[in-house]
Amino acid sequence: MKTAIVPGSFDPITSGHLDVIRRVSILFDKIVIGVAKNVAKAPMFTLEERVELARAATADIPNVSVEEFDSLLVEFAGAKDAHAVVRGLRAVSDFEHEFQMAQLNRELDDTVETVFVMASPEYAYLSSSAVREIAEYGGVVKTLVPPVVEDALKKKIASRKGGR
């Protein structure tokens, strides 16, 4: 069984993430989406919400599962018996950070290979932070996220406004 981890913050999962996940789901026997607990900035969605949304958005892909993790990525990969970590690359600007992370992870465990997948052109501009910002200002995110995430964004923003 060849298993790959697709790690990230997924705050929230977008059509760009889903595109990468679908494309690699046919290359591996199993894909585990690893939702990182540790997000540098305060996330919009809680860890549980980010996991739930990723689960709902990938429910139709049989070999994909979603789990949270709060450890070194290579440790999480080891625990899942995965020897590949998949990251998406959107632009040259992603490269430097990704290159550094891949080298560090190799240093920590050289049995785990980082595999890069180029973003599809239609999603190359798409990020979770852009989605959050557009939604905060009432913009249309329909083409950027799956319907379950669109609903969750509306609810989250309405509940925050109600709380103010």
Binding site for ligand ADP (CB under 6 A): 8-10, 14, 16-17, 20, 87-88, 90, 94, 119, 123, 126-128
Say which residue the tokens 């052109």 belong to: 121
Q: Is 17 a catalytic residue?
A: yes
Q: Is 127 a catalytic residue?
A: no
> Which residues are within 8 A (CB) of 54 and not within 5 positions of it... i.e. 6 or more apart?
10, 13, 33, 35, 66
Strands 30-36, 84-89: pairing kind: unpaired
Kindly tell me which of 72 and 158 has the beta carbon lying closer to ligand ADP. 72
Q: Among residues 15, 25, 128, 132, which one is catalytic?
A: 128
Least Å distance, CB 150 to ligand ADP, is 16
Q: Among residues 90, 106, 120, 127, which one is catalytic?
A: 90
Kindly tell me which of 101 and 157 has the beta carbon lying closer to ligand ADP. 101
Helix runs in 29-140, H state only: 47-57, 73-79, 92-108, 128-136
Helix runs in the chain, H state only: 15-25, 47-57, 73-79, 92-108, 128-136, 147-163
Least Å distance, CB 128 to ligand ADP, is 5
Any idea which residues carry the catalytic annotation? Answer: 17, 41, 90, 128
